[in-house]
Amino acid sequence: MEIRSKEFKQRSVFAIHDANLQTALGRARYGFVGKRALQVAELPEFERLREEAKNTKNHILDNLDHYLERYEAAVTAAGGHVHWARDAEEARKIILDICKRVDAKTVTKGKSMVSEEIGLNEALIENGMEVVETDLGEYIIQLAHEPPSHIIAPAVHKTKDQVSDLFEAAHGGPRKTEVPDLVNEARLVLRDKYFKADVGITGGNFLVAETGSSIIVTNEGNGDLTQTLAKVHIVTSGIERVVPTLDDATLFLRLLARSATGQETETYTTISTGPRRAEDLDGPEEYHVVLVDNGRSKMLAGRFKEMLRCIRCGACMNHCPVYGAVGGHAYGWVYPGPMGSVLTPLIKGLDNAYDLPNACTLNGRCASVCPVKIPLPDLLRELRHMQHQQDITPVMQKRALKVWRYVATRPKLYHALEQVGARFLSAIAKNGSIRRLPLASGWTDVRDLPAPAGRTFLELWQGKRGQK
């Protein structure tokens, strides 16, 4: 997937004025947040589990080489194969070689953010293979020729009418407008693909070093069909997704669904270990795991190690006011929201994603809901500091910061300008708000600016305390 994070500002302006996108985001926003809150309230030990998960992840990362070697040995003992990929190019080559060796014509895919990260679909299609996304959300955006806009709900930016239009254009027949009918239509189309598939590719929510198993969670069962009906099953996963034991996996599973979709558990939790055995009724003839580094080792050795605790639940973006306003496509690459604003600059380079660490109010909601307690605001501040150190801050921004520093270090001047600004904004307001404001059209184009009281906070505070 081509990175377009340099276009964040332009894409954000477009997103804010896109009526369909705003409708879709509005419907989804409170569903994720409200359902998570209910699940958390019903689990008194939730905060204890968060702390335990954070500590377990830290232990894993401190001993990652040990657990990866244990995992590889267990996969091999179960009849599978582990492949190590240093970067996206090497990962694509490994998977292409497997597919070509078995003369694959049709490849079905479960949801995998790593496959998006390495640009796998494009590579398979360029080599003459039919690639079919089987997750409903991924299938919808595949028809629309768009990347995911959310890591757990790829088509959250689409309205029902837009999905109806896509299905009518792709499948023909009478246009369906009800959700159950649309789901059944997709199910009928995809079912034939499962049986035709030569290779099935899934992600791996967790990789268990103890048993050599991969674990995926879904709500549709598409992952099970993808990995059991094809002759070859390929798991794509980042190296940080390994856990020591099945007991450790259950700790993270208790947090994952509650944080992601507001469910007690996902509908399907599937554990796969090696290829089909003689006594098995179904399963693949070959089982491969492609472990992708792609910058993770560098994170592990540096100040962003905590980012590798991420279990890809999406809670940070569900609670992010910036993501809620502009959606995922504005971020310009695979990972949107707060976690993407950290990962994208680290994987693709700070100069390719300058705006992302700055597209944050540092309100802290993301850190407060993260199931593994990643201090996302701190990491975003660190990226901003690195931008300053590398001298890649835009010239006009540098000049504005110099002016700000000059004023802020002179309290009398600062308070005088504050007073002028507060009185001016209060004077031009109508009915308590400002509809248009010079130099702030990016704000007032889509919302009103609440008017200040006419006096500064310091004046109001001192007045309340009877001080001059």
Tell me the C-alpha to C-alpha distance, in Å, between residue 366 and each of 101, 338, 371: 44, 7, 10
* All residues at 6 or more sequence positions from 409 whose CB lies less than 8 Å from its CB, including other chains: none
Strand order in the sheet with 213-218: 242-243, 206-208, 213-218, 268-272
Q: How confident is the model at residue 180 (pLDDT cuts 50, 70, 90)?
A: very high
Region 97-121: mean pLDDT is 96
Query: Is the per-residue pLDDT at 93 higher than 70?
Result: yes
Closest of 126, 124, 131 to residue 99, by C-alpha: 124
CB neighbour class for 174 (10 Å; exposed up to 12, middle 13-18, buried from 19): exposed
Query: Is the per-residue pLDDT at 255 higher than 80?
Result: yes
Q: How confident is the model at residue 315 (pLDDT cuts 50, 70, 90)?
A: very high
CA distance 291 to 274: 15
pLDDT digits (tens, 9 = 90+) for 238-254: 999 999 999 999 999 99
Query: Is the per-residue pLDDT at 397 higher than 90?
Result: no
* pLDDT at position 29: 76
* pLDDT at position 450: 87
Region 358-383: mean pLDDT is 97
Query: Is the per-residue pLDDT at 168 higher than 80?
Result: yes
Mean pLDDT, all residues of the chain: 94
Query: Is the per-residue pLDDT at 75 higher than 70?
Result: yes
C-alpha 221 chain-centroid distance: 21
Q: How confident is the model at residue 463 (pLDDT cuts 50, 70, 90)?
A: confident
* pLDDT at position 435: 84
Residue carrying structure tokens 């971020």:
331
98-123 in b/e burial notation, b at 16+ Cβ within 10 A?
Answer: bbeeeebebbbbbbbbbbbbbbbbeb
Query: Do the Cβ atoms of 207 and 290 come closer than 8 Å?
Result: no
Reported CATH class of domain 5-297: alpha beta
* pLDDT at position 468: 60
By mean pLDDT, which of 75-79, 270-274, 410-414, 423-427 is the weakest?
423-427
Region 49-56: mean pLDDT is 98
* pLDDT at position 129: 97
Q: How confident is the model at residue 428 (pLDDT cuts 50, 70, 90)?
A: confident
Region 264-291: mean pLDDT is 95
Query: Is the per-residue pLDDT at 215 higher than 70?
Result: yes
Region 357-365: mean pLDDT is 95
CA distance 26 to 30: 7
Higher pLDDT, 446 or 455: 455
Query: Is the per-residue pLDDT at 425 higher than 90?
Result: no
Percent of the chain at pLDDT > 90 equals: 84
Q: At what angle do helices 376-389 and 337-348 cross, to 10 degrees?
A: 40
Q: How confident is the model at residue 467 (pLDDT cuts 50, 70, 90)?
A: low
Q: How confident is the model at residue 442 (pLDDT cuts 50, 70, 90)?
A: confident
* pLDDT at position 260: 95
* pLDDT at position 454: 86
* All residues at 6 or more sequence positions from 359 whose CB lies less than 8 Å from its CB, including other chains: 8, 12, 322, 331, 341
Outline which parts of the chain fall under CATH 3.40.50.10420. 5-297
Q: Are strands 232-238 and 199-202 parallel, antiparallel or unpaired?
A: parallel
CB count in 10 Å sphere of residue 219: 15
Query: Is the per-residue pLDDT at 35 higher than 70?
Result: yes
Residue carrying structure tokens 């590579």:
123
